[in-house]
Amino acid sequence: MLDIRQIREHPELVQTKLDLRGTGVYDIQPILALDKQQRELESTRSQLQARSNEIGKLVGQKMAAKVAPTDPEILALKAEGNTVKAQLGELEPAERELKAQILNLILQLPNLPSDTTPVGKTEDENIELRKWGDEYIPTNPEILPHWEIGEKLGILNFESSAKLAQSRVVTLIGAGAALERALISFMLDQQIAAGYTEVSPPILVNTASMTATGQLPKFAEDGFKCAEDDLWLIPTAEVPVTNLYREQILTSEQLPIHHCAYTPCFRREAGSAGRDTRGLIRLHQFNKIELVKFVHPDTSEQEHQTLVKNAEAILQAFKLPYRVLELCTGDIGFSAAKCYDLEVWLPSAGKYREISSCSNFGDFQARRGDIRFKETGKKGTQFIHTLNGSGLAIGRTMAAILENYQQPDGTIQVPDVLQSYLGRAIL
């Protein structure tokens, strides 16, 4: 959430940065207008409250001086006091309503892009920073798409899954289920070894949690909500893990906090109609390892770079070719100030596809969720910085393995580091 003081004091800067995400999409003028009204009401209310206090003091002084309660001056003061109280009674709810309107509008605004985020309008203007593993790109021209080889091997079942639920869900069978479990265990082990503390959070969260991380109110149509309860199926473990510290004041000595979590994730993918309708790339239910950091603002950028390296390490361990993109202002996520995407090579598509998005949110989520810290010896508190990234998306990793490790005879060679987890070398 953006700071109302920043919007009020630096409106041109805020609007300019918002326009980098898409000119004309976001307008702060309604917020400024409501904020002006609210502050005028606040000033009037403060003056009336001061007069009410003054009247009470004057009446008290006269009563202490034994002035009769029926004295015309006392009666006039009391009458004025009643009028002032009535006016306050009207102003206070009006001011609360204005504050609620301002908050609702601010919650619709995305984070401001970092000064180092490249300027661009679409994903075509993202910057490729580096590639890794070109030597591992398979040369076999007969590679089948992962959904075809998976169904042929009997380890992926899309048809029966659609009967159980709907399209864009999958059932993993036999070695497919075992491979997923091996991927989850390996990734968690690697991130724990890298210094992350594992968390197994709820996959149902309330509206306050979804709002704190930026999924609500803007992306309500992408979520799955339980109709009878104020509960949402999580779109990512980022939501429950970040909210573990909602409305808390940490100490600087507790920072940084690094968590990793495996969870199922649920997304309607409302804005992706017709895209990736087959396979494991864009499912309504999928599994993911998430990395979440709570850090001091001074170390935020460094922690972001390390987060990217932690995600890259998994791809390197699997010897999967990938590239790193720095996203431009028009392509970063709603809550992000800066973002790097990792894209893995999918031979059947002949291109790289996203497998991890590593974002630095600055204090955007912390402000929404009121997550602060206090430094020893200093007055007041500060909002922490939050960061997260996939380490990695399980289904997309499986898709990459099924294609990049596909053998001419139709079998799948298991990556070396997974063989001990899976107990086999060939699928």
Hey, which residues are catalytic here?
267, 282, 354, 357, 396
Q: Which amino acid belongs to residue 183? A: L
Query: Among the residues of 197-354, which ranges form H helices?
Result: 207-213, 238-243, 300-318
Nearest alpha carbon to residue 389 among 296, 294, 286, 310: 310
* Contact (Cβ atoms closer than 8 angstroms) between residue 100 and residue 112: no
Contact 360, 169 (CB under 8 A): no
Tokens 């606040």 sit on residue: 42
Q: Among 359, 364, 362, which Cα is nearest to 388's?
A: 359
* DSSP-derived secondary structure for 82-124: HHHHHHHHHHHHHHHHHHHHHHHHHHTS-PPPPTTSPP-SSGG
**What is the distance between the alpha carbons of residues 18 and 112, in angstroms, rounded to a whole number?**
6
Burial of 335 (0-12, 13-18, 19+ CB in 10 A): buried
What 3-state DSSP class applies to 305? helix
